[in-house]
């Protein structure tokens, strides 16, 4: 099964996309788009909540990403 979802941001938003053995964290500014083939896409308007969810799912941030 192939999944494909596309989002167009109208304001700053954060996405945590995940599926079997994969977790991706994305930040979009107004006017940017995101396309993902992951089966689960969670949208956040709060950066801290998005980061907490990504970490919960196993995403590892680089040091400069968490500042």
How sure is the predictor about 1, in pLDDT bands with cuts at 50, 70 and 90?
very low
Where along the chain do its domains lie?
5-58
- pLDDT tens for each residue of 27-38: 999 999 999 889
3-state secondary structure of 49: helix
Q: Kindly tell me if the per-residue pLDDT of 67 is higher than 90.
A: no
Give 2's DSSP letter.
Answer: -
**Averaged pLDDT score across all residues of the chain:** 89
- pLDDT tens for each residue of 30-60: 999 999 889 999 999 999 999 999 999 999 9
With b meaning 16 or more CB within 10 Å and e meaning fewer, what string describes 8-45? Answer: ebeeebbbbbbeeeebbbbbbeeeeebebebeebeebe
Sign of the torsion angle spanned by Cα atoms 44, 47, 51, 56? negative
What pTM, to 2 d.p., does this model score?
0.83
């Amino acid at each position: 099964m192939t999944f494909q979802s596309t989002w167009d941001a109208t304001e700053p938003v954060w996405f945590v996309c995940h599926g079997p053995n994969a977790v991706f964290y994305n930040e979009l500014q107004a006017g940017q788009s995101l396309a993902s083939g992951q089966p689960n896409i969670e949208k956040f308007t709060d950066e801290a909540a998005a980061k907490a969810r990504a970490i919960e799912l196993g995403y590892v941030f680089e040091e400069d990403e968490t500042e």
